[in-house]
Amino acid sequence: MFLRIHPNLVLIAFLGVLPVFVYSQNLISNPGFETYNECPRHLGNLHQDVADWTTPTSGTTDYFHMCSFHMGTPENFNGVQRTVEGEGYAGFYAYAPDDYREYLQVPLRSTLKAGAVYRLSFYVSLAERSDYAIRDFGILFSSEPLEIDTKKNITKAKRFAYAENEYNYFETPADDFLSDTSDWSRIEARFEAEGTERYLILGNFRTNRQTRTTKTGRSSNKGAYYYIDKVALLEQKPELAIAHASSERQKEGFQLDSLQVFRSLLFEFDTYSLSHPGREELQSLYEFLRQDPDLQLQLAGHTDGKGTVDYNRTLSEKRCLAVAKYLENLGIPSGRIQWEGYGSSRPIASNETEVGRSQNRRVEFLIRKTRHLPPDSEK
């Protein structure tokens, strides 16, 4: 399943030189919810207990820290979950009866730069007592903080009632539900800033009817409650280096359960041909996959906004198929590869500029390990 957006960036080949990207400091203060004003003792008190973070609505977002008995980690009222790192994390209802919602809001260390590319990432884990899981999280950047007297979802009408505020909103769609209660799922998005982003708000902005959900088999009638930890927002800065993306992959390796993008698989407009650097990167991926036959690969193809919906979906499928066939020819069995084309439905940059359209012409991939039951648990 795809747990997060991880769109690619524009890579410009010039005389054999490819840009290598580095990241600046984290623009999120208190990213791991470690610093607190007071050790949490009560539900719904994040806005007072934890430093830097607030709630943009009347929803009662929670704060957990190892210092607390009632609001502690790893055990608390909604289940058991260790932290990603450190001793604290936050918790909120992303889906609940009667459109009840909880959100988190944090000021950025600095306003984002117009046209610059940033990477946002965070970890979520579904609480054990949740009876639903969702697929999509909303990301809202605003120029001014929100303070809305509601316990329901933040609608467009409520946002734009603040006439002085400017927004940049997108979602982190997934191809499966975020239902893991035993471990953390990493969500990642890369996007082009508009230059007005000063505050970050995380949560589910859809109504219950619009939210894609699945039942977990529990009957708590609570909804979908998620722990969240380790939030990072980094500016991506290009630096020219004499290196191919495939060699960078070889040094860094491939991550499991993390949606990634082919860095050097550059698609020109209206094509699905594999570039030479792209083939080198696929060779690196093949070497990684062949070492463990239990590894499964999932591909997601995308296009820019030019063309009809049906045409773009077909083109994105052809891009996936080109990647899949190349790996199959190298020796990866077809049964280990799944793919789906999304056309232009999931842009991560503006389709009004060539730079943005280049970013949208991408193939993402996810590597997962097949989980086998131990012999004594098989029926």
DSSP assignment of 108-164 equals BSSPPPTT-EEEEEEEEEE-TT-SEEES-EEEEEESS------SB---HHHHTTSTT
DSSP assignment of 163-229 equals TT--EEEEEE--SS----SSS-EEEEEEEE--S---EEEEE--S-TTTS-EEE-S---S--EEEEEE
What proportion of the chain, given as a percentage, has pLDDT over 90? 59
- pTM across the whole model: 0.62
At 17 the pLDDT is 35
CB atoms within 10 A of CB 161: 11
In this structure, the answer to whether residues 346 and 298 fall within a common structural domain is yes
Task: Give 354's contacts (C-beta < 8 A, 6+ positions apart).
Answer: none
In this structure, the answer to whether residues 265 and 287 fall within a common structural domain is yes
At 41 the pLDDT is 92
In this structure, the answer to whether residues 214 and 276 fall within a common structural domain is no
Domain count, the chain: 2
Handedness of CA 311, 316, 317, 323 (dihedral sign): positive
Tokens standing for residue 379: 């029926």
At 279 the pLDDT is 84
As a whole number, mean pLDDT of residues 96-116 equals: 96
At 251 the pLDDT is 45
Q: Which of 46-50, 139-143, 202-206, 353-357 has the lowest mean pLDDT?
A: 353-357
Which of 208, 236, 264 terminates a domain? The answer is 236
In this structure, the answer to whether residues 87 and 223 fall within a common structural domain is yes
Which letter does DSSP use for residue 87 in this model? S
Reference 136, options 203, 60, 215, 182; nearest CA is 203
Confirm if 230 and 84 have CB atoms less than 8 A apart. Answer: yes
7 or 207: which leads in pLDDT: 207
In this structure, the answer to whether residues 308 and 189 fall within a common structural domain is no
Strand partners, 226: 92, 126
Which of 236, 258, 276 terminates a domain? The answer is 236
Residue 266 has pLDDT above 80, yes or no: no
Reference 332, options 295, 368, 363; nearest CA is 295
What's the distance, CA 213 to chain centroid? 17
Q: What is the pLDDT of residues 39-93, one digit of tens each?
A: 999 999 999 999 999 999 999 999 999 999 889 999 998 889 999 989 999 999 9
Whether 38 maps to a domain, the answer reads: no
**Domain range for residue 331?**
246-377
Distance from C-alpha of 376 to C-alpha of 379, rounded to nearest angstrom: 8
In this structure, the answer to whether residues 224 and 288 fall within a common structural domain is no
Q: What is the pLDDT of residues 325-339, one digit of tens each?
A: 999 999 999 999 999
In this structure, the answer to whether residues 78 and 190 fall within a common structural domain is yes
Q: What confidence category does residue 6 fall into, taking pLDDT thresholds of 50, 70 and 90? A: very low
Q: Which residue has the tokens 């899949």?
A: 324
Helix (H) / strand (E) element for 282: namely helix 276-290
At 173 the pLDDT is 61
At 24 the pLDDT is 65
Distance from C-alpha of 287 to C-alpha of 340, rounded to nearest angstrom: 23
Task: Give 229's contacts (C-beta < 8 A, 6+ positions apart).
Answer: 32, 33, 83, 84, 85, 88, 89, 90, 122, 123, 184
In this structure, the answer to whether residues 216 and 130 fall within a common structural domain is yes
Distance from C-alpha of 328 to C-alpha of 38, rounded to nearest angstrom: 56
Residue 98 has pLDDT above 90, yes or no: yes
In this structure, the answer to whether residues 124 and 264 fall within a common structural domain is no
In this structure, the answer to whether residues 266 and 204 fall within a common structural domain is no
In this structure, the answer to whether residues 225 and 301 fall within a common structural domain is no
Burial class of residue 164 in the structure, from the number of CB atoms within 10 Å of its CB (0-12 exposed, 13-18 middle, 19+ buried): exposed
Whether 7 maps to a domain, the answer reads: no
Whether 6 maps to a domain, the answer reads: no
Give the CATH number of the domain where residue 319 resides.
3.30.1330.60
185 or 276: which leads in pLDDT: 185
Whether 33 maps to a domain, the answer reads: no
Q: What confidence category does residue 258 fall into, taking pLDDT thresholds of 50, 70 and 90? A: confident
Q: What confidence category does residue 237 fall into, taking pLDDT thresholds of 50, 70 and 90? A: low
Which of 213, 236, 259 terminates a domain? The answer is 236
Tokens standing for residue 370: 């097949």
At 174 the pLDDT is 65
Confirm if 246 and 171 have CB atoms less than 8 A apart. Answer: no
As a whole number, mean pLDDT of residues 352-362 equals: 81
Average pLDDT over all residues of the chain:
84
Q: What is the pLDDT of residues 305-324, one digit of tens each?
A: 988 999 999 999 999 999 99
In this structure, the answer to whether residues 137 and 281 fall within a common structural domain is no
Whether 40 maps to a domain, the answer reads: no
Give the CATH number of the domain where residue 131 resides.
2.60.120.260
